[in-house]
Amino acid sequence: MEAPQHLYHLRNGWQARKNFEATRFTNKNKTHMNEDSPDNLNLDTLDLTSTDTGFPVIPAGMYTATVRKVAYEPNKKGTGQNLKMELALTEPVADLTGRQLNPGWIIRDLVSLVVSRKEDGSVKYDPRQRLAEFQEGVLGKKLTSFNPLEQYLEQQVTIRVKVEDDPEFGKSNRVQRYIKKA
């Protein structure tokens, strides 16, 4: 009886394991990979100039998603916290290039939990509005406390997604709004 693969190097030493690996990848009878395969890439002549490396961007519109993650994280400046959300789309969607994205494709959102003020002291940005919108969209009502975060997990929410175009980073998606549950 042959030893399980994870024990092979323990019984026969490291060199024997290396020999086994070399044989596995060169023996045409044991694997679908071989040097003659058209799927093997020749890195000496591989032209990548037209290969898209951008992150998929979906069209602006309304989508149904499931809340997969909600977590507090410190902001980059170290002056407060952000609330980060990961939302998994529930239906397949084609991105702007026509590539099909499967259900489960993640859209991320971030809410700064730091109130910002204008020079005159008036409020420029208040996170309570965005938090209330998220809570109404996910739970269907506003509560007296935003916590616990676990209450939002695996809940469905309708989101309005926007396409933004940044001169430095290109196109990306942003959750523009959480739609209140009926």
* Interval 34-45: pLDDT, tens: 555 667 888 888
If pLDDT is split at 50, 70 and 90, which confidence band does 19 have? low
Q: Which CATH number fits domain 61-179: 3.30.390, 3.30.450, 2.40.50, 2.60.40?
A: 2.40.50
pLDDT value at residue 143: 96
CATH 2.40.50 maps onto the chain at 61-179
Q: Which residues pair with 93 in a beta bridge?
A: 101
By the 8 A CB rule, do 159 and 180 touch? no
92: its two tokens: 């397949």
Go through 84-95 and write b for each residue having 16 or more CB atoms within 10 A of its CB, e for each that does not: ebebbbeeebeb
By the 8 A CB rule, do 56 and 89 touch? no
pLDDT per residue as tens digits for the range 99-113: 999 999 999 999 999
DSSP 8-state symbol, 84: E
What is the bridge-based pairing of β-strands 100-101 and 106-112? unpaired
Of 16-20, 86-90, 153-157, the poorest mean pLDDT is in: 16-20
174: its two tokens: 């942003």
